[in-house]
Amino acid sequence: MPPDNSTMKFDRFELTTEVKNNLTKLKFFRTTDIQFKAIPPILKGEDVLAIAQTGTGKTAAFAIPIINKLQQEKFGRSNDYIKCLVMVPTRELAIQITEVFENLAKGTGVRTICVTGGVDQDPQIAKLKKGVDILIATPGRMFDLISQGYINVNSIRILVLDEADHMLNLGFIKDIKDIVSKLPQNRQTLFFSATIDDRIKKTAYLIVRNAIRIQISPENPVNKNIHHTVAFIEMDDKRFFLERLINEQEGKKILVFVRTKVRAERVLKAMERVNIVTKTIHGDKEQTDRLTVLNEFKNGTIKVLIATDVSARGIDIPHVDYVVNYDLPDQAENYVHRVGRTGRADNKGFAVSFCSNEEKALLKEIEAYIGHTIEVLTIFKKDYEETIDYSNEESATNWRDLINDEDEKPNKKGKRK
């Protein structure tokens, strides 16, 4: 009978000395649920279909056994001999998964490369030519390099699809099928998704064979380490309450989610007017700028980051204290991905949602999705008024004028926003 995962230590797995040493250096001592359940079948070469919420340690759940297997096999390298392909939906996620692989593979001789768009391809090509074991890629750049002859997928023996639900939502189903058709049929396939529905099941069972199915906390899609609250605040007043929260939680890392790129920049300007330093991350930013901002947030140079949902899956920053849903997400499952940026591993986290009157229907959908109501943070009328009165912002009229100005600006195509 296998040991209880609550007492399961990594040194009880049959891992190489180098991998165990790296785990110790990274202070990985005990497994999470997904690691406890996924590592043994992956080590045995079985296909795995895993449903695990964000923040559960799933990257290490597949990285550890893959690195261990490749180190033990010690096959020779050549220009076209990539052994493992990890497909992910976003650039940020690809980069962060690569960091995990590189840290776990130190001293093993297992080489990893990250291939994404948004940056010059020449350095990536140069690394590919030196030989690589594990390729971590977003679909666009990977297919570009395949078509140019720099990537040969014929020898890939392990395929990992991470954040598979997000890949499907972004329309990558054709890309997934195209790459699968090019891979050897006797490969090992690992399919990881934060959520599961009929569409995801259908896609998964087209790819995996006799897979071991693993589902973590299906009765509660949200990490239990997160304390959830919602405050009912009118749309035009949200900036005052964000200002207050940031000032009251001075020094804490706060990740703020908004619905659109335009709103991200508006909230940034609102915070600048009250002398709060923050930055934004969204799809209109250049890749180098996005990485710079993420690193600044990671190392604490900036304490407040404003992001859109497109970035929710790609932000894996340790010790995020608060996630603020400045706007409620349009899709209930995105609430899970947003708040999953805090309360990671054994850390406690806080999720605070600002809900305007027109967003109450979205709140009901979120509560239905996560299976429980969210605690209401009662704001008495006096406190509400004082929050607005004591703001450092000179005039609420200025804010409304700014919004009107932004709405009248033409976009790049010459159309009004």
pLDDT one-digit tens code per residue, 29-48: 889 889 999 999 999 999 99
Judge if pTM exceeds 0.85.
Answer: no
- Estimate the share of the chain in helix, then strand, then coil, as percent rounded to the nearest 5: 45, 15, 40
pLDDT of residue 220: 55
Domain ranges of the chain: 5-215, 226-408
- pLDDT per residue as tens digits for the range 252-273: 999 999 999 999 999 999 999 9
Contact of 319 with 286, CB cutoff 8 Å = no
Is the pLDDT at 53 greater than 60? The verdict is yes
Query: How is residue 147 written in tokens?
Result: 């078509």
Q: Decide if pLDDT at 113 tops 90.
A: yes
Q: Considering the domain delimited by 226-408, tell me its CATH architecture.
A: 3-Layer(aba) Sandwich (3.40)
Rg value, the chain, Cα: 23
Residue 319: CB atoms within 10 Å: 13
How confident is the model over 117-136, as pLDDT tens digits?
A: 888 899 999 999 988 999 99
**pLDDT band, residue 55 (cuts 50/70/90):** low
Residues 6+ apart with CB under 8 A from 146: 152, 153, 182
CA–CA dist 332, 375 (Å, integer): 17
Lowest mean pLDDT among 76-80, 152-156, 239-243, 246-250: 76-80
Concatenating the DSSP letter of every residue in 58-122 gives HHHHHHHHHHHHHHHH-PPP-TT---EEEE-S-HHHHHHHHHHHHHHTTTTT--EEEE-SSS-SH
For residues 200 and 341, give the distance between their C-alpha atoms in angstroms, rounded to a whole number.
23
Strand, coil or helix: what is 355?
Answer: strand
**End-to-end distance of the chain based on CA atoms, in angstroms?**
61
* Contact call for residues 93 and 143 (beta carbons, < 8 A): no
Residue 315 confidence class, pLDDT cut points 50, 70, 90: low
Same fold, 5-215 and 226-408: yes
Check pLDDT > 90 for residue 397. no
Query: Dihedral of the CA atoms 61, 168, 166, 19 (nearest 10)?
Result: 20
Please tell me the predicted confidence (pLDDT) of residue 164: 86
Q: What is the mean pLDDT of residues 377-404?
A: 72
Domain 5-215: assigned CATH number = 3.40.50.300
The H or E element that residue 273 is part of is: helix 261-273
What is the number of other CB atoms lying within 10 angstroms of the CB of residue 27?
Answer: 6
Residues facing residue 416 across a β-bridge? 410
CA 140 centroid distance within chain: 19
Tokens of 210: 């006799």
The predicted structure's pLDDT at residue 415? 42
Sheet holding 158-161, edge to edge: 112-115, 134-137, 84-87, 158-161, 188-193, 48-51, 212-215
In whole angstroms, what is the distance from residue 235 CA to residue 263 CA?
Answer: 12
Over pLDDT 70: what percentage of the chain?
A: 87
* 325 close to 258: Cβ distance less than 8 angstroms: no
Instruction: Look at residue 8 and give its three-state secondary structure.
Output: coil
Give me the DSSP letters along 142-168.
Answer: HHHHHHTTS---TT--EEEE-SHHHHH
Span 146-190, pLDDT tens digits: 999 999 898 899 999 998 888 887 788 888 888 888 899 899 999
Beta strands in 199-357, from DSSP E residues, in sequence order: 212-215, 226-232, 254-257, 279-281, 304-307, 322-325, 349-355
- Give me 309's structure tokens: 């949902």
C-alpha 399/C-alpha 411 separation (Å) is 20
Q: How high is the pLDDT of residue 412?
A: 43
